[in-house]
Structures are given as C-alpha cells and as structure tokens.
Structure 1
Amino acid sequence: MIDLHLHSSASDGTDAPADVVRLAAAAGVTTLALTDHDTTAGWAEAAAAVPPGVRLVRGAEFSTTSPDGRGGEVPAHLLGYLFDPGHPAVLADQQRLRVERRRRIRVMAQRMADAGYGVDPDELESRLDPDAPIGRPHLGRALVELGVVGSVGEAFESLLAKGGRFYEPKADTPIAEAVDTIRAAGGVAVWAHPWARLRGDVIEPEVIADLAERGLAGIEVDHRDHTPADRDRLRGLAGELGLVVTGSSDYHGENKTIPIAAETTAPDQLDALLARATGARVITGGT
C-alpha cells in the first residue's frame, strides 16, 4: 500500500516522525510520504526509522492561496515531494510561513484569552521548537487540555473555524509561486484535496488546468473529504490534463480520526510521480 500524505509532530500531527514511519509499516504501507506543514524538520528522524522493505518519500505540505475561478481567492494546500530542502526558495518560503503562523496563532490565542477561555499564548508557543510551524490543531489541543472542548475536531467546529469570532487569516503563498518553488528545487507538486467542500469554497476546474500548464504534476483525488462524484470528476480531469492521480490518508495522529492508508495511491501513479523528481532521493529501508 502507498500513502503519500502523512503528518507528524514536526508540524500538527501527534506522533513523532519515526513513529509515523513505524505505524505506517505496521499498517502494511510499503511506501509512505512524510508531508508536514511548511517544514522538512522531520525528514532526518523519519529517514533513520525506515525498516527494510519500506520506502520513504520525503515531502512537505505548502500553505498556499489560489484563485477560485470566480474572481475570488481560497486557501489551498500543495504537496511537494522530493525537493531539495536546502534550496534558497524553499528555505525562504518555509521561514516566512513559520513566522506568519506564529503571528496568526498568537492573535487567535489572545482573543480567546481575552474572552475568558484560559488560553496562555506564551505557554502555547513555549511547547514548540522555535522553528516548528504552529497551527490551529495546536490551539485545539490546548483547548482540549483546558476542558473547553472534548476533541480537536470539536474545537474546529465550535471555536477555530474560518469566519468565526476568534479566527485570524494568515498570508499564504500564491499557489503558482509555490509550484515554481517546488519545481526549481527539483521536486514535484500535487494539489492536495482541491475539492474538500466541507472545508470551504473550492476552485473551478479551469484553475487546475491553468496550474497544470505551470507545472503541477498531480491531483490528490482519493481523500476522505472528496465525495464519490467529485472523485470521478477529478479523475477525469487528471486524465485530460495528463496529471498523476494520488490517494492519501492525510494522517494527523490523534488530531484527526482518519487512519493510515485509509486512502492509497496506485503503484503506476507513484512511479509516474517519482520519475519527475530530481531534488531528493527516495529512502529505502535496509539499503
């Protein structure tokens, strides 16, 4: 089985990078990708933990914004695989986003503290490495520990949702620029869950077509937030545009209920993806 979208505690997952690798292997995954938000900090630990017979595709999930095809802008997530983590454009983008993430969460935490929820912005930041990307799930876990909500999911539904009274947007990277950055660093770019309608507005097919011309390599089609009808449409669109089709769990440990390998990628699609990458190598356990 192949799962190309997993998160660790290097960003907003709850399992250490090495544990993500071990859990994936125990679940029968033969190729996994570590794709933490806006960081490659977990790469070394994950690579050291790969067991024989398992392959690790190192990547990251880039925070971006995209035209929606209707005159507006929407948040978008872009998976970058096998890029050079030391490329200047990658380093600059990830550093800017880490700073922006901390600003945003501090604003949200302070709003909650002012409203009497007992959140301490300084204590929240002190839990993380200074270079680690912080996100709403970290704030959600703090709310669980305080007894405000019963789960991180409940925190998102009741307090952290976009447009809510505590929400603060962050300045993400334009998706076309992120595709250029990944490609310049020798990697390949896949649009993560582009039609996850429960998360908000989605983009028109024309936007995917425009980005394919820019160098987008694939679409994450099989994802729990995609309806069967949308999967069929996206699969057809990928065929028309010559894009790779992936499927992934988007695993976050205890922060989400989805298990590893709940969605998977076909071997031929993985091969097509890897053939386009030159920035970093696949790690194979036991070699």
Structure 2
Amino acid sequence: MHLLNADLHSHSTASDGSLEPAELARRAREAGVALWSLTDHDELAGQAAARAAAEALGLAYVSGVEISVSFAGETVHILGFGFDPGHPELVQGLARLRAGRTERARRMGESLAAAGIPGAYEAACALAPNPELVSRTHFARFLVDSGHCASVGEVFGRYLKEGKPGYVPHDWARLGDALRWIHGAGGVAAIAHPARYRLSPTVEYALFSEFQAHGGRAVEVTCGSHFPDEVQRYADMAAEFGLLASRGSDFHAPGESRVPLGALPDLPARVTPVWSLWADTLAGHRPPRPGEPGRLPRAAAAAAAGALAG
C-alpha cells in the first residue's frame, strides 16, 4: 500500500496551474500514477473534466480541493478528498473565498504599481481563468514574462512574500469552517505541505491539535516542497496525532514545479496512507507502468475509478 504511486495534490487551469485537467490526467497516467486527485485552490470547476479524463484512462480518481485558511496570522492550506463536488455548503463556502481573492488581487496590483510595476493586476487577470481566481502565482508569471524576474521563485522572494512590495495579507476561511465544508460533503481533510508555514513549534502543535479536534484525518507527509528531514518530521507528527499520511507533488506547471506529477519518493513505511480508506477499490486496480499507453478495459476502469466517486 505504501508503494502505490498516488499523487493527491495538483493544480489545473481552473485555478493557478498551466495545464487543462485532461492533460494532467494524461501526464499522471504516463508517469505511472495509480491514484490521482486534482486539488485546485478554492475551486471545483475542474473536477468533472478531471474525473472523466481519469476514467477514460483507467486511472483511479478521487475528488480534491485545496482550501485557503487563516490560522495564527498565517495562510494554511487544507486539502479535501473524496467529497461530493456539488454539496451546497462546500460550493457556497468556496464561492465566498473566491470573492475575497478579487479584492486582494486589486490591492496587490496597486502595491506593485507603487513599486514601479504598473499593469500587474490586469496582466494577472489575463492569465487567470477568471478574476475570482487570480493568485500570487499569476502575478509571478507576469513578472517573469515581463522580464522583472528570472523565475517564479525569485518573484516570491523579491515581491510577494510578507514584507515585500507586492504582499497583501488576507483573511481566508477559519479552520473549523473549512473542515466542516469538507466533512459535510462526505470528504476527508488533510493539512497540506506543513513545512511551508512559518509557525513556531508551539503554534504548529496548536494547528495539529485544532485540526484533529475538528475531525481532520490526514497530513501531507511526502510532497513537492518537503525535504527528506521534513518528510521524517511529519511522519512523526502523523504518528503523534494519529493522522493518516498523504502524498502529492503540488504540481502546477512544467518547468515551474519542483517535482513532476508522480515523481515523489514513497511514504515512510511507518505511516498509514490516506488511500488506505479506499483499499477495497485499489485492491483490484493494477497500477499503470510508466509510459504505458492506452486504457484499461471498461470494467477495470469502473472498478478503479467509479467506487472512488465523490
């Protein structure tokens, strides 16, 4: 079960990724991914296309989302898996979050203009699927394309982190609200890439404690932004808090993401994978071999993907 090539964290053009959901599914299948989830930021618009493409390829699919949460003055991301994408409370909650993104983006554009970079808001909007989904990544791509920086990483370091000219704080969802939306829709919640947050050990412990108290089930242990020592640290945290372990590349775009789809190390052997919740479905699914073309027979695809519906 630990050796399953699961990639449960990726982004499409429905939020701040550069590829359509169907292209992500194809890349995941060719990379040997056996279980995939599209987890766009505060958005579910890509779910139907992602599931349809995965099913056509015989790729097991579980619905996903990455919800922005404010915790102790820091933006924290909570992943949701296996939920009903049409659940009203989840849909309405995410709509409110996206409305807040628009105002933040306008203020970021004003701040960058004051720093001598005019037109950033308009350019970022042109790169986003709609104004409600403009993110820092869209601003970063504009700054790279316009020659202000050589890479997205440089943009964040010079302009978009706290204390830099383009940084604008924002109040996202409360932790309890995000978990209530996910659980109400029948899903499972996980803390995304915990090593990325600038939290003291005391505040991080409080995050895990509150997450657990609200019924959170998992933490992303192996991911695109975790180094080997961090993987081991969060495997320990998973054990301490009785959480399942998730694995995801956080893939956004070719040449931009640190880890390609399906290219992560395995989870540590001592953790229990979050996909153990779907063991019955995965038991009958043969993982694809890297680069293998074509699709599994219709019955196999239905067994692998259909039982993960929701």
Which TM-score bucket, shorter chain as reference?
A: 0.7 to 0.9
TM-score normalised over the length of structure 1? 0.86
Q: Distance in 1 between matches of 2:147 and 2:132?
A: 25
- In structure 2, the residue matched to 1:201 is 199
Q: 1:75 to 1:129 in 2, by over 3 A?
A: closer
- In structure 2, the residue matched to 1:70 is none
- In structure 2, the residue matched to 1:58 is 63
Q: 2:166 aligns to what SS in structure 1?
A: coil
Instruction: For 1:68-217, list aligned pairs within 5 A.
Output: 73-130=73-130, 133-196=133-196, 200-201=198-199, 203-217=203-217
- In structure 2, the residue matched to 1:35 is 39
Q: Distance in 2 between matches of 1:53 and 1:166?
A: 43
Q: 1:224 to 1:130 in 2, by over 3 A?
A: closer
- In structure 1, the residue matched to 2:230 is 230
**Shift of the alpha carbon at 1:62?**
0.2
Deviations 1:102-132 (A, max 9, x none): 1111111122223332324234324444375
Amino acid at match of 2:52: A
Q: 1:78 aligns to what SS in structure 2?
A: strand
- In structure 2, the residue matched to 1:239 is 239
Number of corresponding residues: 273
Q: 2:154 aligns to what SS in structure 1?
A: helix
Deviations 1:199-220 (A, max 9, x none): 5335422431332132001010
Q: Distance in 2 between matches of 1:206 and 1:113?
A: 38
Q: 1:173 aligns to what SS in structure 2?
A: coil
**Shift of the alpha carbon at 1:156?**
0.9
Unaligned runs of at least 5 residues, structure 2: 280-302
Counterpart pick for 1:45 among 49, 57, 72: 49
Alignment of 1:256 with 2:257, yes or no, is yes
Q: Which moved more, 1:13-22 or 1:107-116?
A: 107-116
Q: 1:190 aligns to what SS in structure 2?
A: strand
Q: 2:183 aligns to what SS in structure 1?
A: helix
- In structure 1, the residue matched to 2:25 is 21
Unaligned runs of at least 5 residues, structure 1: 68-72, 276-280
Q: Which moved more, 1:209-218 or 1:7-16?
A: 209-218
Q: 1:34 aligns to what SS in structure 2?
A: coil
Deviations 1:213-237 (A, max 9, x none): 3200101011243343333232223
Q: 2:101 aligns to what SS in structure 1?
A: helix
Q: Distance in 2 between matches of 1:79 and 1:282?
A: 22
> Which structure dedicates a bigger proportion of its chain to helix?
2
Q: Distance in 2 between matches of 1:282 and 1:101?
A: 36
Amino acid at match of 1:244: L
**Shift of the alpha carbon at 1:268?**
6.2
Work out the percentage of aligned pairs sharing the same amino acid: 34
